[in-house]
Structure 1
Amino acid sequence: METKRSFIDGVNPEEELINEGAKWLQAGELVAFPTETVYGLGGNALDASACAKIFEAKGRPQDNPLIVHVCDRAMANNLVEVWTPVAELCVQHFWPGPLTLVLPKTVNVPDIVTAGLDNVAIRMPSHLVALRLIEKAGLPIAAPSANLSGKPSPTIGSHVWRDMRGKIPLILDAGACLVGVESTVLDVSGEVPTILRPGGISKEQLEAVLGEVQVDAPTDNQAPRAPGMKYRHYAPRGEMILLSGPHERVVQRLGHEIRRGHARLKKVGVLCSLESAPLLHNWFPDLLFVLGSKDRPEEVASNLFEGLRLCDERGMDLILAEGIAERGLGTAIMNRLQKAAGHRILHI
């Protein structure tokens, strides 16, 4: 299949490009498009055949549910059987935005979207291109991240081009995504709202509005209740180690691990903070990628997947990543780093 990559203005989207994307979606085909979190690979959420193409293009396991994107409440109402009071609060405070709500689904949602579960994951993105595309198509859009399954998520159009070229008819490229990590997935179908996946809305932000919020701890044999819960995700090809602890000790251990990697004839890439970078140059890593300041987690989040992908492009055999404090957005960042490393973590 020939793939067209159309560059679109994220602030004032060109109507003809939105129309083209909408026509492909209405025809049961897939379109990659930007959201404020990462790029999505979208298909008609009401069409089981279109959704099957999403799994095929990504190589995604079919027991991994999809998130459905909507442009307004009326479209959401067609997918959700019961809106809980907590869900209503979330909609008022966090939509449109990087928060996915898990609620009982209607019969309109095909089982392939929910992996056979009774609940649907649904969100309203804040990116103007995404909203206009959904509105013009007149359809809810099932859209996981537009990458090959298990690999780092795409935060710029060129990431999607590398992974999806030849697999889908259209990529709408609006440049870099603002948030850089996926949405928070919050189950609001029960008594206590439960975070199934940390993301762009932090636990602290949710607690300020909802009160008690708990975090799910899935077991290895549990069926995924939301995207990103079961399988290894965001993984570069090389061996990856995450280092966490006091700053000075982490920097010293990074230097030690760089030297060990070189002794094993490995190409070593390092993903580190702005504060650590000057201290690591003398260890001569083959790639030193600065994620951002430890005090600005939004900067780290926006650069994270670019750093992981660059390690692949440069052929790094060993990737060493500096951890960040697990509070606010840092919780989502550490979740992605842990999964990318296959939970291989050195606590210093």
Structure 2
Amino acid sequence: MQDNKNNSQLVEIAVSLLESGNIVAVPTETVYGLACAINKPEAINLVYRIKNRPTQHPLIIHIAKADDLSNYAKEIPSYVSLLTNSLWPGPLTLVLKKSESVPAAITGGQDSVAIRMPAQPLLQQIIDQLGVPIAAPSANKFGGISPTEASHVIAEFDNQIEVIDGGRCQHGIESTIIDVRDHKTCTILRPGPISKGMLEKILSFNSEPVDIIDIQDKSIRFPGKYDKHYAPRKKLISFKNVYELSKLKEKYPEPYVIHHTPFTLESIKNYQIDSEAVIYSREIYKALRIADESICEVILIERPPLNNDWLAINDRLNRAITLHYREIID
């Protein structure tokens, strides 16, 4: 349907579908999202159903302009403007107290709402022309591998959903989510492309100190919270080095190996990802999908470094990995 269509035509297609209460897969700078207009209750319900997503698991609202934030959130701390002025549009999601205009179905029944302003140009145009924010969780079955290319969505839903092809996603990993309901504390709920260091630098300009902490309250629900998430269908087993890989190969003679260290793997299906964290994040979901679609019995993945640059990647892999080397061979 979209062959040879220009961006204006793609925007028109998406807006028409959303206005009529349909869902459509859209590109973002993080991963592809399954979009619906937030004023279409049946479309919201359809997103949950088609993803097999628990209805208590909240969705993120995507807005066209930073000024729209106050329409959907209330009691916004003053320091939030520092964040939005510096990091929006971009891969930062803010959790705030929701206003009355936000449907309960979006928030999973919570009194908070997750909001971000995406940077992907096509999506910005779609939301702006629609005139209503969209909800857009990742365009895949719940708990599975997030899509970073249009072809991933087409394969996931067997071509049953209209997909707006905006090319490959810039970051390839989901947004950073922070809870900013407290006027003196900012809590990182989910690590992502926006690092703690970036947040600290920006909030250092606030007139009053703002503490940045890791999640303490385990009761709050947010996208990506589940222990098992971002996972392939095949068993995913981690290893640290060539020795551990060789021992795993004795147990699993025909694995698919994902690695970033440039070692030689003769006669073994493998995908080598760049060892730079920013590039790795763009590739990891694609690598997992290719491995999952292979005929190999298991996927073996080399553990990334544990420093701060790899925090978001390790968060996703920790939820996707089935077993670690020492749980199999000790």
- Normalised to the residue count of structure 2, the TM-score between the two structures is 0.91
Matching residue within 265, 273, 284 for 1:281: 265
CA contact (8 A) 1:69 1:140 kept: yes
Residue number in structure 2 paired with 1:256: 247
Q: 1:178 corresponds to which letter in structure 2? A: Q
For each residue in 1:45-91, what CA deviation from the matched residue of structure 2 results, as whole angstroms up to 9, or x when unmatched?
23322211111111111111101101102332211112212321110
The verdict on how the C-alpha distance between 1:7 and 1:291 changes in structure 2, with shifts beyond 3 A counting, is: farther
* 2:212 counterpart of 1:213: yes
CA contact (8 A) 2:62 2:116 kept: yes
CA contact (8 A) 1:57 1:167 kept: no
Shift of 1:329: 4.0
Shift of 1:210: 2.3
Q: 1:216 corresponds to which letter in structure 2? A: I
CA contact (8 A) 1:8 1:14 kept: no
- SS of the residue corresponding to residue 74 of structure 2 reads coil
* 2:316 counterpart of 1:336: yes
- SS of the residue corresponding to residue 38 of structure 1 reads coil
CA contact (8 A) 2:257 2:299 kept: yes
Shift of 1:19: 1.2
- SS of the residue corresponding to residue 137 of structure 2 reads coil
Q: Which runs of 5+ in 1 are unaligned?
A: 245-249
Structure-1 separation of matches of 2:202 and 2:37: 32
Shift of 1:137: 0.8
Structure-2 separation of matches of 1:91 and 1:345: 42
The verdict on how the C-alpha distance between 1:138 and 1:228 changes in structure 2, with shifts beyond 3 A counting, is: same
Residue number in structure 1 paired with 2:230: 234
Q: 1:333 corresponds to which letter in structure 2? A: I
Q: 1:234 corresponds to which letter in structure 2? A: Y
Shift of 1:29: 0.8
Matching residue within 164, 168, 181 for 1:172: 164
- SS of the residue corresponding to residue 129 of structure 1 reads helix
Structure-1 separation of matches of 2:33 and 2:62: 10
Map of 1:303-342 to 2, 5 A cutoff?
A: 303-342=283-322
Q: Which runs of 5+ in 2 are unaligned?
A: 205-210
Structure-2 separation of matches of 1:138 and 1:107: 18
**Greater CA drift, 149-158 or 200-209:** 200-209
Map of 1:195-210 to 2, 5 A cutoff?
A: 195-210=188-203
- SS of the residue corresponding to residue 225 of structure 1 reads coil
Matching residue within 7, 13, 17 for 1:14: 7
Residue number in structure 2 paired with 1:182: 174
Map of 1:59-138 to 2, 5 A cutoff?
A: 59-138=52-131
Shift of 1:135: 0.6
The verdict on how the C-alpha distance between 1:217 and 1:239 changes in structure 2, with shifts beyond 3 A counting, is: farther
Shift of 1:234: 1.2
Shift of 1:317: 2.1
Q: 1:188 corresponds to which letter in structure 2? A: V
Q: 2:16 corresponds to which letter in structure 1? A: K
CA contact (8 A) 1:185 1:198 kept: yes
Structure-2 separation of matches of 1:123 and 1:7: 30
For each residue in 1:95-115, what CA deviation from the matched residue of structure 2 results, as whole angstroms up to 9, or x when unmatched?
000000000111111111110
Q: 1:140 corresponds to which letter in structure 2? A: P
Map of 1:144-159 to 2, 5 A cutoff?
A: 144-159=137-152
Counting matched residue pairs gives: 321
The verdict on how the C-alpha distance between 1:48 and 1:204 changes in structure 2, with shifts beyond 3 A counting, is: same
Structure-2 separation of matches of 1:183 and 1:47: 24
Structure-2 separation of matches of 1:28 and 1:204: 40
Matching residue within 272, 279, 286 for 2:259: 272
Structure-1 separation of matches of 2:102 and 2:9: 29
The verdict on how the C-alpha distance between 1:96 and 1:326 changes in structure 2, with shifts beyond 3 A counting, is: farther
Shift of 1:311: 1.1
Q: 1:183 corresponds to which letter in structure 2? A: S
Shift of 1:22: 0.4
For each residue in 1:289-335, what CA deviation from the matched residue of structure 2 results, as whole angstroms up to 9, or x when unmatched?
11212xx1111000000011011110332211112223344111111
Residue number in structure 1 paired with 2:49: 56
Residue number in structure 2 paired with 1:26: 19
- SS of the residue corresponding to residue 185 of structure 2 reads coil
Shift of 1:343: 6.5
CA contact (8 A) 1:241 1:321 kept: yes
- Normalised to the residue count of structure 1, the TM-score between the two structures is 0.87
For each residue in 1:101-141, what CA deviation from the matched residue of structure 2 results, as whole angstroms up to 9, or x when unmatched?
00011111111111011111000111101100101111100
- Give the fraction of aligned pairs with identical amino acids, expressed as a percent: 34
Residue number in structure 2 paired with 1:247: none
